[in-house]
């Protein structure tokens, strides 16, 4: 049985992934702001370093898989810079800090949670995406605060998907047997899309979000994909961005591959 680390494990997709993996007999180390094994604030470099140290100690230095679910949505009143710090830097810096523990496993798998907003939301600020991919957190946070959370959200998730595609094929990762992949969920019914702190006007707009399947996704449906991407059935997946959105991307981008 494997040892997996899940950030954002206290709620939504992270909590559902924990449930699914534990039901499969695996050990899960959760990381979140509270209500799980490791309490850490992934919006700061110090919080990320503390999370990596605590996870390394708890896992005995060997991590078979890491799932980065921790994130802030754009529908509550969150500054755009903070959203960037958690969604992008909180994920890539933790993956990087845990690389030694992932290398010690026999074929580790990393899954980050991107979003279908990367292809369906217009007006993604490109300078924000490139600042993230350059690793310039101060500049990315500055731009995020300037543009606000609504455009910063798909920018954070596009940068995350592109980071996975860029890094996955490098010898430092795949040469060490570590597979990096991303999931791009559509609208999933979690506190991020139906919590009490959402802006009521923006929350209402979600009712018009096109989902050909006819309903929002459930967290356990994304957890099933997480389980697959961590497990032995997905060994050919390397640098993939897997959309799980009930058909939204296909409907809105009929001509694109």
Strands 65-68 and 3-7: parallel
Place of tokens 């605060």: 145
d(CA 60, CA 71): 26
- Shortest reach from residue 177's CB to ligand NAD, in Å: 26
Helices 149-168 and 126-134: crossing angle, nearest 10°? 40
What's the min distance (Å) between Cβ of 94 and ligand NAD?
10
Q: How far is the CB of 192 from ligand NAD (least distance, A)?
A: 3
Long-range contacts of 204-211 (CB under 8 A, 24+ apart): 206/75, 209/248, 210/248, 210/251, 210/252, 211/186, 211/187, 211/245, 211/246, 211/247, 211/248
Of 8 and 125, which has the nearer Cβ to ligand NAD?
8
For ligand NAD, the closer CB: 52 or 105? 52
Residues that bind ligand NAD (CB under 6 A): 8, 10-14, 32-33, 41-43, 69-73, 86-87, 113, 115, 185, 187-188, 190-193
Residue nearest to ligand NAD (CB): 12
Given the residues 4, 88, 153, 209, select the one marked as catalytic: 153
Q: Cβ of 82: how many Cβ atoms within 10 Å? A: 16
Output 16 or 108, the one with its CB closest to ligand NAD: 16
Only one residue has tokens 């959760």, namely: 30
Is 4 marked active-site? no
C-beta separation of 179 from 108 below 8 A: yes
**Region label for 35, one of left (φ > 0), alpha (ψ between -120 and 50) or beta (otherwise):** left
Q: Considering the complex, what minimum distance in angstroms separates the CB of residue 188 from ligand NAD? A: 4
Nearer to ligand NAD by C-beta: 33 or 54?
33
User: Catalytic residues, which ones?
Assistant: 153
């Amino acid at each position: 049985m494997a040892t997996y680390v899940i950030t954002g494990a206290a709620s939504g997709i992270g909590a559902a992934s924990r449930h699914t993996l534990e039901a499969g007999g695996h050990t899960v180390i959760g990381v979140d702001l509270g209500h799980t094994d490791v309490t850490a604030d992934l919006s700061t470099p110090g919080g990320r370093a503390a999370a990596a140290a605590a996870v390394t100690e708890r896992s005995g230095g060997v991590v078979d898989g890491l799932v980065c679910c921790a994130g802030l949505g754009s529908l509550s009143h969150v500054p755009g810079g903070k959203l960037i710090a958690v969604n992008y830097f909180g994920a890539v810096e933790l993956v990087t800090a845990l690389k030694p523990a992932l290398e010690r496993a026999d074929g580790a798998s990393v899954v980050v949670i991107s979003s279908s907003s990367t292809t369906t939301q217009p007006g993604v600020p490109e300078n924000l995406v490139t600042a993230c991919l350059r690793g310039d957190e101060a500049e990315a946070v500055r731009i995020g605060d300037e543009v606000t959370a609504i455009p910063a959200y798909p920018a954070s998730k596009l940068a995350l998907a592109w980071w996975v595609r860029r890094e996955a094929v490098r010898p430092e990762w795949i040469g060490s047997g570590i597979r990096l992949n991303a999931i791009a969920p559509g609208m999933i019914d979690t506190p991020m899309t139906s919590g009490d702190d959402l802006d009521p006007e923006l929350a209402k707009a979600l009712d018009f979000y096109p989902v050909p399947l006819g309903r929002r996704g459930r967290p356990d449906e994304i957890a099933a994909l997480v389980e697959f991407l961590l497990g032995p059935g997905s060994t050919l997946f390397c640098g993939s961005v897997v959309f799980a959105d009930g058909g939204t991307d296909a409907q809105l981008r009929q001509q694109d591959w």
